[in-house]
Structure 1
Amino acid sequence: MGRTSSRTGRRAPEERKRALQQAAVEVVAREGVRGLTYRAVAAAAGVTTGAVQHHFASLDDLLRSSLDWVLEESSENGLLGARTGVFADGANVRKRFTESADIQVFQYRLVVESRVREELRPVVRRLYDSYLAAVAKDLAAAGKEPPEGLAALVYYALDGMFLHQVADPEADPGAALDALRMLLEAAAHPVAR
């Protein structure tokens, strides 16, 4: 008889799968992609390794599925907005980062691991495509139809800001976000010479 926990207990199969995806994110955030094992996920979720294997045929399947959960969670809870949110204030960005630190670290670990594991590159490409599309959508919604390359430039600046938050959660991105908004405003309304 396998262990159960309040996390996975007697939940519907889809809820159990979500709990295992979340546990995988936590394991990768804490131990890196190479620390992702059925045993580590089972321990984090409070279930047997068989329960994890029942839902995921391979660790790569678990990794891809966990990224799906991350993107869905980010979209539903406004984390995509915080990540791409050039229009958010620094305190809000820091708060949201703190609330989603494992998700952020999971993503960066996935990016770094894709450097040596080619099979992860399509997963990482999906991640970047999602964020780049969200930035372009944010800019367009603010009435700043971005010229080619601007959404990517803004995303790269914001991505660096979030990477800095990983290294120093106390860093205040407020002044940088203000400056970025000022540059975007100037680009949207150039002064005639």
Structure 2
Amino acid sequence: MAREAEGGRGRDRDREDRDSEFVDRLVHINRVAKVVKGGRRFGFAALVVVGDQKGRVGFGHGKAREVPEAIRKATDAAKRALIRVPLREGRTLHHDVNGRHGAGRVVLRAAPPGTGIIAGGPMRAVFETLGVHDVVAKSQGSSNPYNMIRATFDALAREDSPRAVAARRTLKVSALQARRHGVDAEAVEA
């Protein structure tokens, strides 16, 4: 009996350790109403971004009658929908990329060290939880936080690392990097 209790506590502790590695940011909260026979029932919708600041990030949406419950649901949904994004030197993107969702469009650009996160509102939350330190981003079109987040995730899903590109093209990473810097690829292989 005591052994089962310890096992259960150990599982809870493991879950807490796993949850503690994630940083979550509340991006948007909205009061929503459901019209019923007696009037209106108010609830809350929350948009949360979760990341481990090491290249994994996800977003989630939750609705409930109370704000804390909506945030908890959104956080759980975000943890279930994590994506991995390759980062250059653990601080910026590998290349410039565009993303879109509905009327929301975003442009993400890699930046040199010391630039910081130059991005507005919902995109800033994504980059902070992702662990990006230097990036320049611009949103065009819709300023709806849901569309901006989804467009940002669309752009991040298109992000490729040199290792992935080299594997897809059956090249060595060094040959790919040499081409990028203007050195002849045959000279590198020789």
- Normalised to the residue count of structure 1, the TM-score between the two structures is 0.29
Answer with 1 or 2: which has the greater Rg: 2
Q: Per chain length, whose mean CA-contact separation is higher, i.e. which structure has more relative contact order (CA < 8 Å, sep 6+)?
A: 1
- Normalised to the residue count of structure 2, the TM-score between the two structures is 0.29
More strand by share: 2
More helix by share: 1
